[in-house]
Each structure stands twice: as C-alpha cells, then as structure tokens.
Structure 1
Amino acid sequence: MKKLFLLFLCIPYFAFAQKTTILKGTVKNKEKQPIENVSVKFGNTGTTTDENGNYSVRIPFKEEITIIFRHVSYKTFTKKLTATSRNSIRFSPILSLKTEKLKEVVVKDRRKEAQGITKIDVNKAKNIVGPNAGVENVLMTLPGVNNNNELSTQYNVRGGNFDENLVYVNGIEVYRPFLIRSGQQEGLSFINSNMVQNINFSAGGFQAKYGDKLSSVLDITYRKPTEIATTVDASLLGASATFEGGFLDNKLSVLTGIRYRDNSLFVNSKQIETNFRPRFTDLQSYISYDFSNQLTLSYLSNFSLNNYDYQPISRRTRFGTIADPLELIVFYQGKEENNYFTLFNALSADYKVNDNLSFRTTVSSYNTQEEEYYDVLASYNLGEVDANIGSQDFGEVDFSEGIGSQLNHARNDLDALINNVQIRGTYKKDRIQWDFGVKYQNEDIRERIREWEVIDSLGFSVRPPNHAGNNQPYEPFEGPITPFQNIREDNKVQINRISGFVQINERLFWNDNEVWYNFGIRAQNWTVSSNGNNSKSQLIISPRAQFAIKPNWARDMLFRFSGGWYSQPPSYRELKDFNGKINVDVKAQKSIHLVTGMDYSFNLWERPFKLTTELYFKDLSNVNAYSVDNVRIRYRADNITTAYAHGLDVRLNGEFVPGSESWVSLGYLKTEENINNRGNIARPSDQRIKFGILFQDYVPNLPNLKAYLNLVYNTGVPGGAPAYSDVYQFQERLRDYKRADLGVSYVFTDANKQYQTGFLSKFKELTAGLELFNMFDIQNAITNTWVRDVYSKTQFGIPNFMTGRVLNFKVSMKF
C-alpha cells in the first residue's frame, strides 16, 4: 500500500520532468568576470545569478522560449531557445555595460578603496608585457613599488626589502626560497596568473587580519571554475597549460596549471658569455568541493623544481667616463649547479554557521630543499682604454691597473619545513563586522654552509682584513694560505610562533557623509632554538587603525587615514649574520606607520578616470640592517640600527583610450638608516624617484589588433660595498634604471567573436603576438663587481648589467 501511495506521489514529478529540462550557465561581462544578481526570466518563470554568476532554471521541452537576462548596470540580453534534448542545456551569455548616462546617482562599493587596497584587473596580469609577465609585473608599474631586476619577481615597497612583503593565496601565506642569489636563479613566481580571480594589493597601513610584516600585502584569490576549459600558452620562453572544470552539478571545482620556463633567451643577451640551462617547472592545483550550503572543503597544492646549470666562459664590460674609460675582461673556468625543490600543501574547511557567523580552518605545510654547489675561477684584467681619437690603438686597453683572479667555492644545503594551523572567523551584525583568528606555526630549518673565496692579486693571495702575522717583504711568510672569506656553519633552527588578531569594521553615515572605520590588534609570541641555544620568549603587540570618509560633495572624493605600530618578528634569514652564525636573540623590527590618502573619481572626455594620492611616513626601530646582492639579502642580525622612510605616491588611471584602462604613476621616496649612532646614510632600497606607465591601445578600424606598452624609470639605488668594508665609505649609486617593453597581439577569437565553422570554431579564445623587451636596448645595472687596483689599493665598482633587447613570440589558446 505504501509503495502504491509513493507511486501516485511521483507521477506528477515524472510527468513534469518529461515536459521540461534544465537550462543553466554562468553570466559574465566582457572581462570574463561573473556578474551577480542578474535576472534570468522567461514568461512568468525566472531566477537570479549567485555571487559566481551561476544560474539554473527549468524550461519547457521542445518549445521555443525567449529568455531575458537583465541587470541594472548592463544591457539587456535576450535569446530564443528550444530544448531538443532532455539533458540539461548550458548557455553562458556575455553582457555589455550600459553606455548611456544615468541621471540617478550610481552607488559604488568603495570598501576596498576605503581600506587603502588597490584592486588590479586580472586581465592586465595576463596581458602585461615583461620578462616575468604576471601579477608581480603589474605591481612594478604602481607608485611605491620598485625592482631593478627584470629577471626577478621580488619587489621593494616604500623603502622595505623583499622579506618585508606578505603574499597570500586564498588566505594562505606563501614563501620565497632561502638560498636564491640572483634573479636568473629564481624561476617562476608562486602565483599562476592563469588561475587568478582577484588581485588586491596594499602598499602600507594594512589591517590587523594580515600578518606581521612591515611593508605590503599582496592578497590573491584563485577562482572556482564552473565550466570545463583548457588554456594553453606558449612562447620562446616556455609554455603553460591550465585545465579547469566544474563537476557534480558544480559542487566539485578543479583548477590545475602546469608551467615550464627557460630563461636562456634573456641570459644570452647579457654581457657574460655562458653555457646556460635554466629550467623551471611548476605544477599547481586548487580543488574545492561544496558538501552543502554550509560546508566547503578546499585543497591547494604546489610543486616546483628549479634546475640552474651555469657555466660562465668570459665577460667584457666597458665602463667609466668618455674621458677616462675603463674595461674589465674576465675569463672563467668551472661551473655552478643549483637545485631548488619546493612542495606546498594546504587544506581548508569553510563552515557557515548562519548568515552572521562563519569559520575557516586551514592546515598547511611548506617544504623547500635547496642545493647550491659551485666552483668558479675568474681571471681578470682591469685596464685603461685608449681614448685618444687620433691614436692607432684607439679603443684598445693600453695599461692594466688590476690583474688577478678569484676562486669561489660552495657546497651549501638547506632543508626547511614550515607547518601551521590557523582558525579564522567572521561575525556580522547589521553594519558591524568582527574578524578574528589564531595561528600556530612551527619552522624547522637545517642548513649546512661550506663557502669560501680565495683572491689572488699579481700572484699574491689576498688575506682577510686585519689579519696579523704578515711582515713581508722584510720577513718571509710561511703560514698557510687563508681564504679571503670562509664560512663553515651547521645550523639547526627551530622557531615556534603563536599569533592572533581581532578587528572590527563598520560602515555608517555621519550626517550625509559616508564613513568607514577599522580598528584591530595583532599579537605574536615566539621562541627560537639553535644548536643548543634557546632564546627567551618574545612578544609583540601591533595595534592598527583605518578611517575613511566620503563627503557628500558634488565631486566624487574619498579621504582615508591609516596607521599603527607594525612589527616583524625575525625569520630564519634575519637570524643569520654575514658569517652564517645564528643569533637567537634577534628582536622584532618595529615601525610606526602613518598613511593619508585621497581618491578623486571624475570624467574626462566622457570617460572615467581616478586620481589616487598617498602620503606616508615610517619611523623604524630595532632595525636589522642588511646588504643586497642581486636578490640575496644578508643581515647584520644585531638590531642596533634605526631608520625612517617617507614619500608620496600619485597614480592616475582611466580610459585614455576608450574601453581600455591605462595608468600613469609617480612616486617619491627617501629612506635612511643610522647604524650604531654613526649618522644617517641611504638604505639599500633608497630609490628616490619612480615613474611608470602602463598603456593599452588598439587600432580603431581593427580593434582586435591590440598594443601594450610598459614603461618604467627608477633613479639609482646605492651600489653596495665590498666584503669587510665600511658601508659608510661606499655610498655611490648605480645608474638610473630605464626600461620599455612593447607587446602587440591579434585576437583571432574570444568571447565576443565566435565562429561556427572553420578552423577557428575549435577555439573559445585564440591570440598571437610579439613582445619586444627592453626595446631601446638600455644597459641597466643591478649590482657591482668589486675589483682591486694594485697601484692605488682602491676598489672599483664595476656594474653588472642586466638583459639587452630581446624579441619573443607567444600564442595563447583556450578550448
């Protein structure tokens, strides 16, 4: 009887199912971003898209209908459909923004701007031209962000160094390798730009929910795909492939990308002749499964392998002035073999208790195994070049000022394992939002350092400075040859950290003025142990605040203020001094940070523009002074330095060309440090003037032919100092950094231009183009090589030039 009753209940369902089918899809804009709250309707039936642009609605079977997609900010889209199959139908339209003027006031979401966060268009990260095209390359065009090394993805922000930047992917902090010395060894960035959905960047004054660093935050979100697609990119520099798809009625989303890169094209354009095989491989996956509307489980993994085989042959560098030119000629023997293996895994669970309360728990593990092996003998001749135009030897070296050689040896191994678990929560009530969290992290680093350098000048071995016992030529010296530098250390370091934060956000109205405020506080406690030495437990407290107001003016302006007491507990690199020894008692660097800014949005030539300005000041104490050699940072590990930084950042972005956003940025920075009360000198990151342009254009009668121009000008930074020298005596700067990269591409097909027949019908997207790097072939220097003059006993800083002009071909396709 019960079975018969159930059968009668199911008859209407089966009858209805036979007469209908499911229509579903994803509604996006021309920038391929999902659109939320789009009305999807036919007749009296309809639905709306969710936050990911997805919709699902039942339509009649074998009956023509007209389905309408409506949104207040986009043009209405209509489509006639007839379901000819009982299987679900997928239709994903592209909506175009409305271009007509509206008399009503358009309400904008200004939360990111109020927080001092720059939101970067994902398409720019994919299309921008540069040797390391991607998210970091876009950052280089922003004011306050500097980098003079086109082979590196590292960057300095407002006077800080590479180690002072926070990078998050889906709320999980990621790390850079420990032993990397040069940009050409660095390989691929952790961030795969083909997997990115959102890019948010803060150059300072960021909230307490972010970690304990002094300079900046780059917050990346990987997307959750809803449709199956494969994207393939290929060029003379390497290739990548990305697979994405939504399965099990879009409960399961899979996003996987593999990348391969070979930088030989760039290195072969430098002044050093080499046999070079730099190979970088990277595999990433982001998998997410929705168990219910309340529980989602996500998994993020990364595997990377960098093999760096380097065999220098010769080098010829001419420098100096027109009246007094010099030339360095070097012949090399030996080679360098470095390997960097990295494995990263993170598992996250998001649980939504109700509409007001949600939690995220994350467990992650990062392991890096690095080998740095080299034996390189360099024999050099530093000579004066004949500058007499009438001379038969014009342009030739006619007098040698320095002759010698140096042998560099290393057998360095490092194994680092970083494990952490964190719980974060969000509670919303009315217009107030509370964020809170706690995190435990254990760092286990083991490093074996065997590194020495022998310097020979005119047949005599150069001993370390202040080395007693040599009274030649009056007394014969019978002691052993002592390396100029010699480091032999075995470090076993354990760091345990417990950190937490709580912050409150609110949006309200003060009279007719819109106001945002944020107040939060962070705390971290940590201990360090190394080879039997244990540090005392150290604690830092970091209060931070933000305030923004949008006055009820006719002009669209926003004013914001932020600041706080920021602290940076030492990482393993900061615990290690120049000689490789660990100081377990290194304290956290501290900074009082103040930022004030303004955003002014306006229309020019009937197109949107925005002018952003920020004025900032940092007062730093307990500073751990450092030196920079390419991308290698070496710390003093003593906290005896104070410093300051102040500057002004200005950025104008908008549609200089209709439909294409471009920007111009200008930054001024001054940062100095006082080491042990000896007086202020420029810090290694003291880059006074920064000017950048990111410009996009297209041919009016041929809009699928597009051009991308990336221009950067930076004034020179301090050129560093030789080993064992006094940095106060070496304050010469490198030459100004000037670079222009141009890219031209043609879009054969994309979301706005589809083919039903022929070869192009097989592609969802197909683009091909050419890239010209360093188009003016400007010689930019990143560091100095120091060579001794045997007569004056002085040392010359000989610039190490970066890459020259390089032409690259690339193609991108999506199936």
Structure 2
Amino acid sequence: MKATIFYQLVLVFLIGNSIYSQTATIKGVILDQENQPIPGVNVTFNSSGTLTDFSGFYLLEVPSNQNLTINFSHLSFKNFSLEINFEPNEDFEFNPIMELDIEGIDEVIISSRQNKQVQGIVNLTPETIRKTPGAQAGVENLLKSLPGVSGNNELSTQYAVRGGNYDENLVYVNEIEVYRPFLIRSGQQEGLSFVNSDLTSNVDFSAGGFQAKYGDKLSSVLDITYRRPVSFDATVDLSLLGGSVAAGGISKNGRLTAIGGVRYRNNSLLVNAKETETNFKPVFADAQTYLTYKINNKLEIGFLGNISLNEYSYKPLTRQTNFGTLADPKALLIFYEGQEEDRYETYFGAFKATYAANDNLTLKFIASAYHTKEQEHFDILAQYRIGEVNSDIGSSDLGEVEFSRAIGSQLTHARNDLDALIFNIEHKGDYSVNDNQFQYGLKYTREDIRDRVQEYEIIDSAGFSIRPPGIEYINTQPYEPYDAPLVPYNDIDAFNDIQINRISGFLQWSKRTGMGDHELWLNAGVRAHNWTVSGQGIETTTQTVFSPRGQVAIKPDWEADMLFRVSGGFYHQPPFYRELRDSTGTVVPNVKAQQSIHIVLGNDYSFKMWERAFILNSELYYKSLSDVNPYTLENVRIRYRAANNAKAYAYGLDLRLTGEFVPGTESWLSFGYLKTEENIDNRGYIFRPSDQRMKFGILFQDYVPKIPDMKVYLNLVYNTGVPGGSPSYADPYDYQSRLPDYKRADVGFSYVLVSEDKLRASGWLKPFRELTFGFEIFNIFDVQNSITNTFVRDVDTKVQYAIPNYLTPRVFNIRTTMRF
C-alpha cells in the first residue's frame, strides 16, 4: 500500500512539473570547423550559464516568454550571441560551429581533440568511413588501415587488435553493447556489420589501455554514436554489391528525433570472381532505427532497434587451383556435389533513459535484448585429383593437367543449430564537482543458449579411408588386410542448454589539474565481474574477477605541441559461450577469465607541415597474459580448447601520421610492429594464431587539380603472413608455418555533381544536397591472397599437399550516392 502511494506521488509530481513549467531548454553540440567537439565553451544568459562537456554537449534551462540573449564564448574561438524567445516547455536544439581565433590556434588544436588524446582514442569521421573503398565498406574496413589492427580477409568485417582474436573486441552503439552471430565460419557468410555507417555521427576507437568505464574484454573498444537529425535528411547509396537507404527527421516541437536505415547486400560479385565455380544466392538485409524523445527538460528516452536476416545458399560446382613451382607445377581439380544452406536471424532492441538531475549529475538506465537464431546445414562431396601441369609454353595444352598423382574424395556434413537470448539491465551515473568527475555503473546480464553441434568429415584417397590424426593405427594396406573399424576423420555430436548470469560494475574518477605550468589529467578506476554458469548436465560454477585500471596524461608547457600519456592495468575477459565450448562441442563450465596485464606508453605530437596541421601518434605497448584459453583459427572460425592451460605475451609499436597531405582532405600513413607468443602446457613458446608481425597502411584522399570535383580514394594495406598454414586439427607445436603476406589495394573514383558547397538553384538537380557517381576497383594489383590451406593427402607417396584457398581477385564496382 505504501509503495502504491509513493508511485502515485511521483506520478503527480512529474505531471505537475510538466503542466506548470514556465521554462524551456536549449541544448546541442558545439563543434569547431573540423567537426571536432569543443569542451569548455561558456553558454550563458544574464547571470546563469553552463559549460560544454568533453563531447561538446551543453544543456541549459532558461525562462520562457522572454526575449533572451544567449552568449557563447571560449578563449580560443570567436564569441557570438543568439537572440531568441522560447515558448513554455519548448525544447530547442542549437548546434553551432565556432570559428577559430587565430591568435589562439595552438591552444585550440589541443582543446578540440583534448579528451580523445588524453584517453588514447582514435576518432574516425563518418564521411571518411562512407567514402573509403573496400569489399566490405564501413567502419571495420577503415579500422583495418590503423596500426595494430589486422584483418586478412576482405570478405569479413572481423578484426584482430594487438595480438588478440575476433572475440576480444567490445562494440558499443550509443553506450549499448552489441553482439555478433556465433556460427560464422567463413567471411563470405557474414553479410552486414551491425554498424550502419549512414546513421553514425561519431566513431571512437581504442586499441588498448582503455578506462574502467568500458567493459571486460582484452583488446579494444569501438564506441559508435548514432546521430540526431536537426532537420529532415535522406541518403541513398547504390552499387553492384547492394544498396542502402537512410532517413532522419525531427518533430516540430523538437522533442522527437528519429533516424532509420535499410540495407541490402549481395556478395555474388565478389564470390563468383573466385576460383571456385558456384551457384551462390545470398540475401543479407537489415533494418535499424534510433529514436529519442524528450519527456521534459530533464528526462529523455531513446530506442535502438535492429532486425537482420542473412540467408546464405552455396552450391559449389568445380574448382581448379594451380600451385607448386615453375619447375614442378601442380594443380588441384575438384568436382563438387551437394550444397550449403545457412540462415542467421537476429533481433535487437534497447531502451535508454537519460535523466539530467542538475548541471553536475546525469543518470542513465539501459535495458536491451538480443535474440539470434542460427542454422548451418551442409552436405558437400568433393571429388578431387592432384595432377602434374603441362608447362610447355609452346604447347596448345599449356596449363592442362596431364597426369594424376592422387585421387580421392571428401564428404563434409553439418547440422548445427543455435538459439541464444541475451538480456541486459544497466544503470550508469556521471557526477562532476570542481575539476573532478566520478562515473559508476552496474549491469546485470542473462545469457540463455541452446546449441546443437553435429558435424563429421570422411576422407577417402584412392579407395583408402583416412583415419583421424592421433589414433594409434598404421595403415599398411594393400600389403596387410584392414581389420580396424571405419571411423570418420572428424566427428562432433553435442547438445548444450546453458544459462550464464553476470553481474558487473565499475567505479572511476577523473581529474584535470596542473603541475607547475604543465597540464595534467588523471584517471583511476576498477571493474568487478561475477558470473555463474549452469545448465543441463553440467555442474554450476561461479567466479569473480576485479580489474583495476588507470591513466595519466601530461601536456608540457613546451614550444612543441606534445602530449604524453601512460595507461594500463589488469584486464579480464570472462568466458562467453564460445570460449566455454571445446573442440568436441562439450561445455566446460569452470573455464576461467583470461587475464592481461597491459601497459601503454603514448605520445601525440601536433605540428605544421606545408602550412597544414599534422599529428604523429606513437604508442608502445606490452601485454602479459595468463590463464590463456588456446584456440585454432580457420578462416574466421575460432575453436577453443576450453582450458586455461597457457600463458602468453604481446608487445609492439604503433605509429600513425595523419593530416592534410592534400589541402581539404584527411589522409594517414600507419605502421605497426607486433610479436605475440604463447606457451601451452609449459612446452615452450610458439607463435599465436594472431602473430601479425608487421603492418603498413595508407589511406589517401585526393582530387584532380584541374577537375576538383573528381575525387580519388586509396586504401592500401600490407600485412606480413600470420601462422595458420596448417590443418586445424594439427598440434601447433608440429606446424609453425605461416600464410603468405597479405597485400591489397582498393581505389575509388567519384565525380561530384552536387555537394553542400555546390548546390543547384534550379533544374532536376535542385532536390539534391549531394550527388556523386563513381566506380571502384578492389584489389587493383590482382594479388592472390590466401586465408587458409586445403590439405590433401597422397596415399601412394605419403605426401600431404597444402593448397592455398585464395581470396577475391580484381573486381570492378559501380557506385552512386545521393543525399536529400
């Protein structure tokens, strides 16, 4: 009864506050001319006011029905004023761009990028993301050009960071954690990334040493912010790989904003260009929306929704791969029967409420649900032969197989089905007092997963069944009779019904202060994570970990514009479902959290070159990992041992030079060096599957001098080969071979008919805010990159051949973009 009366009083208070309020609200984000947020801007009227936060956001409650003059001032920018009269309870959004005060330019560069530099965060502009060419265009495509980030498969959106694997990266959209499908085994099955580039307004990325406010992963954080439209806008992007449509708008009173997007992708252009002839019918489509509604001047609610449908129908026909040397050329010929039918359905919804209690305290409540239904079914018979190739240049049969050295077949079968429901409830708070900022969070997660794994593989070579590795049996046929039972080469059959309950939280403190004439930033925090694994036929297990972290950054009072920082701490990754499942499909509930002691030393040097601004980012890092859960990687499929029987380390150097190499454009050069090794069962250190030793990346934007509307975009990546040139079943201590180096260059050309600086006043082009036509060339040098090897045995000679599985060759694409 008392509780009911309490809720009634709260409801009356909220209604009364809404009815009788005689105030209004002005809010927005203040940017500089580089579209970077400006912290510390004074927004005042009469004797009241506020300051913009680190993201450039401000919120000010003002009287209604009065003529007001609102002043915007900053030491390093030109001041200006806004004269306005608000209606009662009006919610007005104003997003000005402040011009530089030339006398304060050195300080301005620091102020506009200060918070991200302090945290060691790389900011990527949505415009650069949308324009950069790639077989999988989007945020992840641009990430792979950064140092420390590797991805040797252009068909995949997955990436590895500083020696980690694909499962060690956090992804947030508007502070809401998002997830990926479980059963993906090859890049061509993936379809679309969750992040819709047409909806983004800000992209932040940290490759390590991130603060306690972020979650429990070992490698990186990708923090996406979806935009809030201030007027109606729409975008259409069409190409031979698919298309997307996005639109956004705001209500007349400014309280409701909405954006949404629909995407469709068809990878046939890329897959049909590969050496395997197929009947390939993919359907990758999704729809997303982000809504916000301001209930009153203090309370706002938002909704993020996504529905994704990926259908992958794959029927291989034939394949011919030439390999060997010029002196001894060979070829693998395969004739296929059967097909693969995969389906991935994901549904995601999240509500977020933000309550601005006062200028110093902000409270947030988030609830989200993620549901995925995945199917991976295939039966494929591959009948192969290995032959010697005619290398006589003058022969009419040049390149044809003249003599078969090995003949055999391989039957692969799978009936894998997964149904997962993940539910989250989270509360976060942000309190500022003087120069101190306190942030905290508490989160509950429920994971309910039902999984059936049924796979087998049978290999036959010239009539002799190849037995699984590790079985103590010697095949002496045809000299002795075969008297052992026939068994599949690989055989997995398991059913799991697992529930995981998690409670996690964090508390952190940040302060901006001084040390003499130098500026100093401090951050310290701790995370805690408790999880319980239970389910059908397994023993319930509960574990807890704590992760203290910290950052220190200093900007010396030097003539050179320098910023130094050191960050690190203990990072834990409590196991997700895939990390609990071993290679036989059995769930091991007592798998521990992997731990990394991580330290990062960074420097940002801002300087002028050719009268233009440049920044050189440098980071040295070291990771000491314990309780490591070893895994094998085949294409993009990770199989864990589900055992904490290894330790590892990783260290490296990342360099990135970014700036206007061409006036008015952003380009960069990046270099990364990495070494990572692991010691499994104290057998000695060997390369980890993610040991990407060296990496070079170039992102270059240019235009034709005499035709400035003709734009050119170049995305070039060179990665040294990673370990992985061995069978997935093999003992890694017996196979330490590497795949060939990965070399890829994508280029895009576009002609701008209409842009913001070139609007048409009349004619059929008048409705457009932007209209471009162009074409793209993927893999312009037609390099034969490979992601895995196919291993074929010759029973007669006992030789096992490693035949590379090549990725996409040179492909041409046509693309047009429209904005209204």
* TM value normalised by structure 1: 0.90
Q: Which runs of 5+ in 2 are unaligned?
A: 1-25, 64-69, 84-89
Between the aligned partners of 2:163 and 2:27, the Cα distance in structure 1 is: 50
- RMSD in angstroms over aligned alpha carbons? 3.4
Q: What's the counterpart of residue 624 of structure 1?
A: 629
Asked whether the 8 Å contact 1:601–1:608 carries over to 2, the reply is: yes
Q: Return the match for 1:754 from 750, 759, 763.
A: 759
Q: 1:235 to 1:321 in 2, by over 3 A?
A: same
Q: 1:76 offset after TM fit, Å? A: 9.7
Q: Aligned letter for 2:757?
A: N
Which 10-residue stretch deviates more, 149-158 or 454-463? Answer: 454-463
Asked whether the 8 Å contact 2:61–2:297 carries over to 1, the reply is: no
Q: What's the counterpart of residue 641 of structure 1?
A: 646
Between the aligned partners of 1:565 and 1:96, the Cα distance in structure 2 is: 40
Between the aligned partners of 2:152 and 2:427, the Cα distance in structure 1 is: 38
Between the aligned partners of 2:60 and 2:269, the Cα distance in structure 1 is: 46
Q: What's the counterpart of residue 523 of structure 2?
A: 518
Asked whether the 8 Å contact 2:39–2:111 carries over to 1, the reply is: no
Deviations 1:188-218 (A, max 9, x none): 0000011111111100011111111100000
Between the aligned partners of 2:337 and 2:211, the Cα distance in structure 1 is: 52
1:311 equivalenced with 2:315 (yes/no) = yes
Q: 1:407 offset after TM fit, Å? A: 0.6
Asked whether the 8 Å contact 2:31–2:98 carries over to 1, the reply is: no
Q: 1:583 offset after TM fit, Å? A: 0.8
Q: What's the counterpart of residue 13 of structure 2?
A: none
Alignment of 1:309-708 (within 5 A): 309-387=313-391, 394-465=398-469, 466=471, 472-473=477-478, 476-477=481-482, 481-708=486-713
Q: What's the counterpart of residue 10 of structure 1?
A: none
Q: 1:37 offset after TM fit, Å? A: 9.8
Q: 1:138 offset after TM fit, Å? A: 1.1
Q: Aligned letter for 1:659?
A: G
Q: 1:319 offset after TM fit, Å? A: 1.6
Deviations 1:419-474 (A, max 9, x none): 11111111111111111111111111101112111111001222223165977556
Between the aligned partners of 1:73 and 1:127, the Cα distance in structure 2 is: 31
Asked whether the 8 Å contact 1:530–1:582 carries over to 2, the reply is: no
Q: Return the match for 1:718 from 705, 723, 737.
A: 723
SS at match of 2:307: strand
SS at match of 2:739: coil
Q: 1:70 offset after TM fit, Å? A: 9.6
Q: 1:624 offset after TM fit, Å? A: 0.6
Deviations 1:161-200 (A, max 9, x none): 0000000111111111100011110010000011111111
Q: Aligned letter for 1:287?
A: L
Q: 1:98 offset after TM fit, Å? A: 5.3
Q: 1:548 to 1:767 in 2, by over 3 A?
A: same
Alignment of 1:1-20 (within 5 A): none
Between the aligned partners of 2:711 and 2:415, the Cα distance in structure 1 is: 49
- State the identity as a percent: 56
Asked whether the 8 Å contact 1:27–1:54 carries over to 2, the reply is: no
Between the aligned partners of 1:759 and 1:39, the Cα distance in structure 2 is: 44
Q: Aligned letter for 2:644?
A: N
Q: Return the match for 1:190 from 179, 182, 194.
A: 194
Between the aligned partners of 1:503 and 1:531, the Cα distance in structure 2 is: 38
Q: Return the match for 2:300 from 296, 304, 318.
A: 296
Q: 1:739 offset after TM fit, Å? A: 0.7
Which 10-residue stretch deviates more, 112-121 or 549-558? Answer: 112-121
Q: 1:792 offset after TM fit, Å? A: 3.3
Q: 1:669 to 1:696 in 2, by over 3 A?
A: same
Q: 1:263 to 1:76 in 2, by over 3 A?
A: farther
Asked whether the 8 Å contact 2:694–2:719 carries over to 1, the reply is: yes
Between the aligned partners of 2:27 and 2:529, the Cα distance in structure 1 is: 48
Deviations 1:685-731 (A, max 9, x none): 11111000000111233322211111100001112432542221211
Q: Aligned letter for 1:165?
A: N
Q: Aligned letter for 1:108?
A: S
Between the aligned partners of 2:538 and 2:400, the Cα distance in structure 1 is: 58
Between the aligned partners of 1:26 and 1:443, the Cα distance in structure 2 is: 37
Which 10-residue stretch deviates more, 296-305 or 390-399? Answer: 390-399
Q: 1:775 offset after TM fit, Å? A: 0.8
Q: What's the counterpart of residue 209 of structure 2?
A: 205
Between the aligned partners of 2:476 and 2:29, the Cα distance in structure 1 is: 82
Q: What's the counterpart of residue 115 of structure 1?
A: 119
Q: 1:384 offset after TM fit, Å? A: 2.7
Q: 1:643 to 1:68 in 2, by over 3 A?
A: closer
Deviations 1:554-574 (A, max 9, x none): 000011101111111111100
Alignment of 1:735-750 (within 5 A): 735-750=740-755
Count of aligned positions: 781
Alignment of 1:235-250 (within 5 A): 235-250=239-254
Between the aligned partners of 2:214 and 2:749, the Cα distance in structure 1 is: 38
Alignment of 1:55-134 (within 5 A): 105-106=107-108, 108-109=111-112, 110-134=114-138
Q: What's the counterpart of residue 146 of structure 2?
A: 142
Q: What's the counterpart of residue 11 of structure 2?
A: none
Q: What's the counterpart of residue 257 of structure 1?
A: 261
Q: 1:74 to 1:277 in 2, by over 3 A?
A: farther
Q: 1:793 to 1:53 in 2, by over 3 A?
A: same
SS at match of 2:355: strand
Q: 1:259 offset after TM fit, Å? A: 0.4
Q: 1:791 offset after TM fit, Å? A: 3.0
Q: 1:565 to 1:72 in 2, by over 3 A?
A: closer
Q: Which runs of 5+ in 1 are unaligned?
A: 1-22, 59-66, 82-87
Q: What's the counterpart of residue 732 of structure 1?
A: 737
Q: Aligned letter for 2:426?
A: Q
